[in-house]
Structure 1
Amino acid sequence: MRIETGLTENEVLLYRKQFGDNEIYQKKKNARTIFINQIRQNPLIIVLTLATIISFSVGEKISSIYIFIMVSASIVLGFVNEYNAEQVVSRLLTKISHLVSVLRNGQKKKIEANELVVNDIVFVLQGDIVPADVKILESKDLEINESALTGESMPVEKGKGEELLMGSVIISGFAKCLVIKVGPETNFGKIVQNASFIKPQTDFQKGLTAFGGFLTKLIIILTIAIFAVNFLLGKSLLVALLFALAIAVGLTPELMPVIVTVSLSHGAGKLAKKKVIAKQLVSIENLGNMDILATDKTGTLTEGEIKLTGSIVYDKKFDIIESALHTNPTTGGEEIRGNPIEIAIASYAKEKGLKVDESKEIFEKPFDYTKRASFTVIKEGGSFRLIAKGAPEEIIEASLHKNKKKYLDEFKKLSEDGVRLIAVAQKKITKKTSYSWDDLKGISMIGFLTFMDVPKKDALAALKKFKKLNVDVKVLTGDNEIITNKICSEVGLTIEKDIVIGDQIEKMSEEEFQKIIIEANVFARLNPDHKLRIIDTLKKLGHVVGYLGDGINDIPSLHNSDVGISVDDAVDVAKDEADIVLLEKDLNVLADGITEGRVTFVNTIKYILMSTSSNFGNMFSAAISSAILPFLPMTPAQILLNNGLYDLAQIGLPSDSVDLESIRKPRHWNISFIRNYMVFFGPISSIYDFLTFGVMFYIFHARQGLFQTGWFIESLATQVLVVFVIRTSRTPFFKSKPGKLLTLASLLIVLIGVIIPFTSIGASLGFVRPPALYFIILVVMVLSYLALVEIMKSIFLKKFSL
């Protein structure tokens, strides 16, 4: 291998075989892990399985086999859905590109980062994440951030002969490097192998955990009580235990993880078609919770294609384009990098065939988002010259020129016409070992460069979508307030209050600041610290904040926001930090993502409310009746079959249609609401259960088999069909059209429940054929039950809201 030409293809194969791939093998969920997790996550299943084995060994063979089948079906169902979800995420992540520039066979080419091998020659530039452990061969003005490894956020200068570690971020400059370690052998790889990186729980995950804790306490209390009562009333230890465990399983919403996973997978697939990639499935739900979106205007309110359109030159002794190029980031002849203005200048120069001699540059200060400028010192013969470019206000302020007012008037006039300006200035300077921002004082104007970024035609339509979804859009830009006002007016964005600028923020008290960030929606002349403070304070005030950004300066805000959003052509570190990656920068698809997140939440809540009303009511009825009946109201096998059929009926919930009014604003978990719902609707279900008991005893004089059959069918029909009432807040419920799959699954399961007692399977479970009169009474009871729930729903929703 030669440094001038890089590796040959044969050498690549040799080193890959010798040192391995550049992949860090984090602990991923394989099929075996997922299957084991399905059992571990539900300890009731383990206890029930053990009790079933004991039951089988003492002669209860048929019942035990059925219980075992139902338990196995529950595990398999959960496994299939979680495994599919893992595959969905893996496929989506492949759509996000992570390319690196390498030298192979004498040519520079782009390859995927995981294709790097030891001894590759790799080039890293501003915004790149160092893709492996490397040794610097050449560099210029190289500054890196190693916070991912050391926790230290201050940039560090590096030079020839030093090492860069995988995971470091290039802040400025460029480097040509030799790869020395890849994959698990890198420093970063070893950290990953020995540590688990746990992201903070989202609001949705916290809600699931809180609900799970609430339900677990309830189940434990009921299970112990039911077991104790039945055992004390003379039932055998095994029968009492199996019945108590079956009730516990009946109360457990074991399908909830499946409903959530399928809903999120369904949403991720739909969003991927619209070029929105969720790096984690739960990120979709985070979007749904969002009530504030903070974004720059470039690429969202405008097309994002900033172009250099011309110049206004005051000092004709200097070439303004050449001067500006000297202050662009050094790239070592590599691809164009920098902020949008620097990219526009470099692109213009490339188009015109203009180049500068970078060897003249002895000192470079990259663009500083606080100073809003950059500068370079170049050597010209025996003298030295400082060249600066940046925001006109900053450059003119540093100037001692007598025409300051003229420059400012020109700047304001053109800005009001929608033209973006960048000032370029220069001055002679003495040679020093280092230069600072103070050296800009007394600088002399060369002129202005003019740029244009066309407003997006569909920006107003996208903003209207966000307004309908009750999401406030706040524009956070580094541009001046004049050009910002012009763009906002062109796209139709109403500016609430006045535009707030960064200097004003710094002078505000905390109370004033909190008030203004709620009331105002456009902020200009901001640096990264201003943006971060706005996002952190909005979160502290109880808002769920999304942030859309694509540059290095956006990293703190992407990290701290509830939903970090970036684009596929962003710098690598921005994509790495984001939760959502847009393959196209478009606010319209973000609005679709918010809708998908809310649909997921609403459909999850539907299942929860059903489980805490009719399902809870039925199991509560079973517990009470077991204490007063001479036999069990349903056997453990019958309860598990009932519960299994009920769960299958809900498979259509993730694709169920959702009322528009239920997704107009973000909703959050409210355990007290769920508890109130359970207390309010659970007894209604129990009332109809006891009515069924009365019918079976006093009309049909039923013994054990007929009694259990009658209640099995009634409890299944009521708890399955009540979904059509509970799934909507509309009254009457048929004003809301349910999804086709949910309708088909629900009706089919009820039909299966009616047919089972007429089959040999039903007979083996202890069911008998009910008389015809039973079904007439059943229809009347089901219809009256749904009508009563509908009436009570209206009363409940007037009193409580989610």
Structure 2
Amino acid sequence: MKLWHKLFTTFLKRFHLMRFFGRSQSFKELHQSSYAQEISKTLSTRLVKAAKLDSAQLLNKFNSSEAGLTEQQASAQQKIIGLNEISHEKPLMWWQHLWYCYRNPFNILLSLLALVAFLTDDLTGTCIISVMVILSTLLRYWQESKSNQAADALKAMVSNTATVLRDQLSYDDLVLMQQRYGIDVKNQKNSQFEMPIQYLVPGDIILLSAGDMIPADCRILTAKDLFVSQAAMTGESMPVEKFPVQTNLQQSNALELENMVFMGTNVVSGSAHAMVVSTGIHTYFGALAHRVTATDRGTTSFQMGVNKVSWLLIRFMLVMAPVVLFINGFTKGDWTEAFLFALSVAVGLTPEMLPMIVTSTLAKGAVFLSKKKVIVKRLDAIQNFGAMDVLCTDKTGTLTQDKIFLSQHVDILGQTSHYVLMQAFLNSYYQTGLKNLLDVAVLEAVDPEIKTQKLRFKKLDEVPFDFDRRRMSVVVKTPQDKVRMITKGAVEEMLKVCRYVEIDGKVEALTTQKQTAIETLTQRYNQDGLRVVAVAYREFPTTQENFSVADESDLILIGYIAFLDPPKESAMAAVKSLHAHGVAVKVLTGDNEFVTQKVCREIGIQCERILLGGIIETLSDKQLKEAVEHYDIFAKLSPVHKERIVDQLKANGHVVGFLGDGINDAAAIRAADIGISVDTAVDIAKESADLILLEKSLMVLEKGVIEGRRTFANMLKYIKMTASSNFGNVFSVLVASAFIPFLPMLPIHLLIQNLLYDISQIAIPFDHVDDELIAQPQRWQPGEVGRFMIVFGPISSIFDILTFALMWFVFSANTPAQQTLFQSGWFVVGLLTQTLIVHMIRTAKVPFIQSRAATPLLVMTAIIMCIGIFLPMGPLASYLKLEALPLSYFFYLPFILIAYMCLTQWIKTIYIRRYGWQ
């Protein structure tokens, strides 16, 4: 046995097939992975150095100027650097995809058996086996091709541009640019051009404004109120402010640099001039994308499970077929006939319909999910969905709505106050600067009554926001003809300029005791994941006309407004449903711990214990392997942290899913057994995913889990049935071969019986599944399949031997001259018992009474049983070397079948009591 396994493994290695049968990470993968990490470190160092240079030094280093590069410089740079493009995962050629769909242990083994059958002139066996392999391969190819086309259609087919400065432009330069970039030179203004971003090179000067996508890694040269959303890179929901100068020169984390912006992020508000530092795969985004695409996918839970079951059945076949060959060869003396019979037994033992049953079952699941607006890119993901017992999910944009909402408007004591909301609304409404996300949230939160009241106020002046004092003020005339300055800003900055507080309409001095109470209250809001903004006012004489920062003093603090990135409406129900189905949910985010805990508390995830990325950095793989079992929330994570957590969960034996939509999620999505993304995700996240959700509702996850378990249950039905019945057949063959002077069944009989039995299983993908089987995660258990085969296989052998006795003693089919009658009798019993076992094994309940098969399976079973009886009784009997059975045979047949079903049910009850039922 070990020799067979060694020879087969050597064959796979020799022809580079071993990776299709499951294996650990290769040296190439390890090299590429470490290489990508090294690139990330190099880029981080380069960006940190660029951040520390002053503007003049930076421009000089890149041979640029404030007016930008010349067209000659840009053209020369591009020839060296290449286009500003990210290398996405290359799609498989059609023949590569076809090979991918073909490669699995059974298809390769069946192909070898078909070749042997052809070389021995067994054309019937060759055709039967070949048809099974071709159908399973083409079905999978067609389904996956259709899904991939749908996924590709999701990619935005727009050409992004950036506003670029060009220096010293001649007429020839303009003509060249018009030809090269498709730029309309007639509309050029002050040497500013809207240029496709793929033509950007290091040294280019670009202009950024609200709504722009950052086209490359850039250094800020000048900025005005610049806020950038880095959620796609870091997972942090709040925009971050960017400046021309890096204040903390000790900062070594590139993503926390104050004067650098990164490809894949976008400008929320403000404007800036920036210089391109890195493009394409040399950007931070590009390094992460390279890390994802340069590494082969790991073997998933489904692939490992199929491989284990496949090897179990292959080893069984490699043992039993030679035994049948030698017994029949020595007892009958005809080694040629014995070899053909052993070959037929080998084909009979190999569940040749398994690839097709698996593929059609998975395809049915993919069709079901497509109706729920889920694109299944890889069919294996369906079963992995059902086997999943841990779902890791990003927070921003997946669990949350990725939109800031006003959560609280309270007075000094923490009581809801519409007066505070009204003052905050006036401040946000009357400011003329670009309104940030917090202002938009305030404007959207007020009701029509408050919006109407603004008409009673008249704006007089404003003091714009700046990032030194972190507050802004508007001055209005109240309905009582008073002049009031309304100021809002960060709590700590507001406390510096407030001298009084207003409590229940009374103005009191801001004492140290009151300030401590205020800080305690606002810190509590912060710990609840809320961003707090203080609101205050001061009244001035009606004669004052001009106002400045100096007037922001002696303010009266009236309360606070607090903001939240709230969870999706479907998040709580989805988490609750997943927990009910045995799936643990873990949150992996780059955002801070307070916001994360708040969101998790609202959606029903345990949030008392939280593990931060900084601590993960200090943990070994062994320590992290233990930690991932005890924590459900992981915050302030880098992409590498997320990937490590997924890998350690898999190492602990979990089947892991990962749901995310940013570049920082792509590596973890790819590492998971099942990667899930959404249609609005970045391209690299969608490419890495196995499933893409077209709707943001997380409830579709529950439907996917249930469908995955239903799919797995139906696949397992076929494996259990074919393994146990084939084992029983071989056991019966061994007994008959030892005591009967002729073959108990001809090779053609075995092949036809096997073909008819397999055809009856085509309807299995459409069968019902008992609720108990979809309540918990379902996983491949090769040991369970082996035990099931050994327990239930011999049951059919008992009735095969009874049939032998019936044909030998009752119908006198006990000589070589009567062997056709003997073989016909066993052919009918063997086929009918094999077909009926479907209904006995498909459920743990009493078949036909407590659990009935789906109509397609009932109909197919009935048709095949009728065909089984018709073949020896009809006109094809002589061609198939069968003969008509006496009518008295059909008197005994029902008793044999009923007794077989009753004994199987009794043994099944004992088996369930001892081992359970998968």
TM-score (norm 1): 0.70
Evaluate the alpha carbon distance shift between residue 701 and residue 410 of structure 1 in structure 2; reply closer, same or farther with a 3 A threshold.
same
Most deviating of 782-791 and 730-739: 730-739
Match of 1:544 in 2: 655
User: Is the contact made by 2:360 and 2:765 (CA closer than 8 Å) also made in structure 1?
Assistant: yes
Match of 1:85 in 2: 143
The one-letter amino acid of 1:498's match is: E
Match of 2:358 in 1: 260
2:217 matched to 1:143?
A: yes
3-state DSSP of counterpart to 2:900: helix
**Partner residue of 1:710 out of 825, 832, 835:** 825
2:710 matched to 1:636?
A: no
The one-letter amino acid of 1:749's match is: I
3-state DSSP of counterpart to 2:860: helix
**Partner residue of 1:601 out of 695, 700, 712:** 712
Match of 1:626 in 2: 737
Query: Which of structures 1 and 2 has the bigger CA Rg?
Result: 2
Mapped partners of 2:114, 2:593: distance in 1: 67
Structure 2 counterparts to residues 100-249 of structure 1, below 5 A: 100-102=158-160, 135=201, 138-139=205-206, 142-143=216-217, 170=264, 198-249=296-347
User: Is the contact made by 2:348 and 2:754 (CA closer than 8 Å) also made in structure 1?
Assistant: yes
Match of 2:839 in 1: 724
TM-score (norm 2): 0.62
Most deviating of 568-577 and 537-546: 537-546
Evaluate the alpha carbon distance shift between residue 75 and residue 260 of structure 1 in structure 2; reply closer, same or farther with a 3 A threshold.
closer
**Partner residue of 2:867 out of 731, 739, 752:** 752
The one-letter amino acid of 1:143's match is: D
User: Is the contact made by 2:491 and 2:532 (CA closer than 8 Å) also made in structure 1?
Assistant: no
Once the two structures are TM-superposed, the CA of residue 400 in structure 1 deviates from its matched residue by 10
Evaluate the alpha carbon distance shift between residue 52 and residue 567 of structure 1 in structure 2; reply closer, same or farther with a 3 A threshold.
closer
3-state DSSP of counterpart to 1:657: coil
User: Is the contact made by 2:757 and 2:864 (CA closer than 8 Å) also made in structure 1?
Assistant: yes
**Partner residue of 2:903 out of 759, 766, 788:** 788
2:687 matched to 1:589?
A: no
**Partner residue of 1:498 out of 608, 627, 640:** 608
Mapped partners of 1:346, 1:100: distance in 2: 32
Match of 1:429 in 2: none
User: Is the contact made by 1:38 and 1:78 (CA closer than 8 Å) also made in structure 2?
Assistant: no
Mapped partners of 2:393, 2:493: distance in 1: 30
The one-letter amino acid of 2:866's match is: L
Match of 2:379 in 1: 281
2:579 matched to 1:464?
A: no
Mapped partners of 1:230, 1:750: distance in 2: 29
Once the two structures are TM-superposed, the CA of residue 572 in structure 1 deviates from its matched residue by 2.6
Mapped partners of 1:749, 1:575: distance in 2: 45
Evaluate the alpha carbon distance shift between residue 646 and residue 486 of structure 1 in structure 2; reply closer, same or farther with a 3 A threshold.
same
Once the two structures are TM-superposed, the CA of residue 512 in structure 1 deviates from its matched residue by 9.6
Structure 2 counterparts to residues 273-352 of structure 1, below 5 A: 273-296=371-394, 303-307=401-405
Match of 1:432 in 2: none
Q: Deviations over 1:119-138 (max 9, x none)?
A: 578xxxxxxxx997865655
User: Is the contact made by 1:731 and 1:794 (CA closer than 8 Å) also made in structure 2?
Assistant: no
Mapped partners of 2:495, 2:906: distance in 1: 78
Evaluate the alpha carbon distance shift between residue 460 and residue 699 of structure 1 in structure 2; reply closer, same or farther with a 3 A threshold.
same
Q: Deviations over 1:6-27 (max 9, x none)?
A: xxxxxxxxxxxxxxxx995633
Once the two structures are TM-superposed, the CA of residue 782 in structure 1 deviates from its matched residue by 1.1
Structure 2 counterparts to residues 54-65 of structure 1, below 5 A: 54-55=120-121, 64-65=122-123
Match of 1:772 in 2: 887
Evaluate the alpha carbon distance shift between residue 407 and residue 585 of structure 1 in structure 2; reply closer, same or farther with a 3 A threshold.
farther
3-state DSSP of counterpart to 1:570: coil
Q: Deviations over 1:713-734 (max 9, x none)?
A: 1111111111111111124663
The one-letter amino acid of 1:723's match is: V
Mapped partners of 1:131, 1:255: distance in 2: 51
Once the two structures are TM-superposed, the CA of residue 505 in structure 1 deviates from its matched residue by 6.2
2:777 matched to 1:666?
A: yes
Once the two structures are TM-superposed, the CA of residue 87 in structure 1 deviates from its matched residue by 3.4
Q: Deviations over 1:14-71 (max 9, x none)?
A: xxxxxxxx9956333479758986999344544455545544xxxxxxxx45434433
Once the two structures are TM-superposed, the CA of residue 549 in structure 1 deviates from its matched residue by 2.3
Evaluate the alpha carbon distance shift between residue 586 and residue 44 of structure 1 in structure 2; reply closer, same or farther with a 3 A threshold.
closer
Once the two structures are TM-superposed, the CA of residue 583 in structure 1 deviates from its matched residue by 1.0
Match of 2:504 in 1: none
User: Is the contact made by 1:291 and 1:545 (CA closer than 8 Å) also made in structure 2?
Assistant: yes
Structure 2 counterparts to residues 385-464 of structure 1, below 5 A: 405=516, 408-409=519-520, 411-412=522-523, 420-421=530-531, 450-453=562-565, 456-464=568-576
Most deviating of 401-410 and 663-672: 401-410
Q: Deviations over 1:744-800 (max 9, x none)?
A: 111111111111113332220101111112122111111111111111111112222
3-state DSSP of counterpart to 1:546: strand
- The root-mean-square deviation of aligned C-alpha atoms, in Å, is 5.5
Once the two structures are TM-superposed, the CA of residue 587 in structure 1 deviates from its matched residue by 2.0
User: Is the contact made by 1:705 and 1:767 (CA closer than 8 Å) also made in structure 2?
Assistant: yes
User: Is the contact made by 2:107 and 2:355 (CA closer than 8 Å) also made in structure 1?
Assistant: no
Once the two structures are TM-superposed, the CA of residue 342 in structure 1 deviates from its matched residue by 11
3-state DSSP of counterpart to 1:564: strand
Once the two structures are TM-superposed, the CA of residue 689 in structure 1 deviates from its matched residue by 0.9
User: Is the contact made by 2:593 and 2:636 (CA closer than 8 Å) also made in structure 1?
Assistant: no
Mapped partners of 1:271, 1:595: distance in 2: 11
Mapped partners of 1:475, 1:156: distance in 2: 22
3-state DSSP of counterpart to 2:692: strand
2:877 matched to 1:762?
A: yes
Evaluate the alpha carbon distance shift between residue 299 and residue 734 of structure 1 in structure 2; reply closer, same or farther with a 3 A threshold.
farther
Evaluate the alpha carbon distance shift between residue 203 and residue 783 of structure 1 in structure 2; reply closer, same or farther with a 3 A threshold.
same
Mapped partners of 2:752, 2:670: distance in 1: 47
User: Is the contact made by 1:762 and 1:768 (CA closer than 8 Å) also made in structure 2?
Assistant: yes
Evaluate the alpha carbon distance shift between residue 760 and residue 571 of structure 1 in structure 2; reply closer, same or farther with a 3 A threshold.
same
Evaluate the alpha carbon distance shift between residue 536 and residue 397 of structure 1 in structure 2; reply closer, same or farther with a 3 A threshold.
farther
Mapped partners of 2:597, 2:429: distance in 1: 28
Evaluate the alpha carbon distance shift between residue 204 and residue 405 of structure 1 in structure 2; reply closer, same or farther with a 3 A threshold.
same
User: Is the contact made by 2:877 and 2:884 (CA closer than 8 Å) also made in structure 1?
Assistant: no
User: Is the contact made by 1:285 and 1:598 (CA closer than 8 Å) also made in structure 2?
Assistant: yes
Evaluate the alpha carbon distance shift between residue 616 and residue 309 of structure 1 in structure 2; reply closer, same or farther with a 3 A threshold.
closer
Most deviating of 659-668 and 196-205: 196-205
3-state DSSP of counterpart to 1:473: strand
Evaluate the alpha carbon distance shift between residue 25 and residue 514 of structure 1 in structure 2; reply closer, same or farther with a 3 A threshold.
closer
3-state DSSP of counterpart to 2:731: helix
Gaps of 5+ in 1: 4-21, 56-63, 105-116, 122-129, 148-152, 161-167, 329-339, 349-379, 426-445
Q: Deviations over 1:225-264 (max 9, x none)?
A: 2222322334433322211110000000111111111111
Identity %: 33
Gaps of 5+ in 2: 1-68, 70-87, 163-178, 184-195, 209-213, 219-229, 234-252, 410-419, 446-462, 472-488, 499-514, 536-556
Q: Deviations over 1:652-693 (max 9, x none)?
A: 111211111111111222222111111111111111111111
The one-letter amino acid of 1:73's match is: V
User: Is the contact made by 2:575 and 2:604 (CA closer than 8 Å) also made in structure 1?
Assistant: no
Evaluate the alpha carbon distance shift between residue 512 and residue 343 of structure 1 in structure 2; reply closer, same or farther with a 3 A threshold.
farther
The one-letter amino acid of 2:909's match is: S
The one-letter amino acid of 2:883's match is: V
Evaluate the alpha carbon distance shift between residue 450 and residue 769 of structure 1 in structure 2; reply closer, same or farther with a 3 A threshold.
same
Evaluate the alpha carbon distance shift between residue 41 and residue 770 of structure 1 in structure 2; reply closer, same or farther with a 3 A threshold.
same
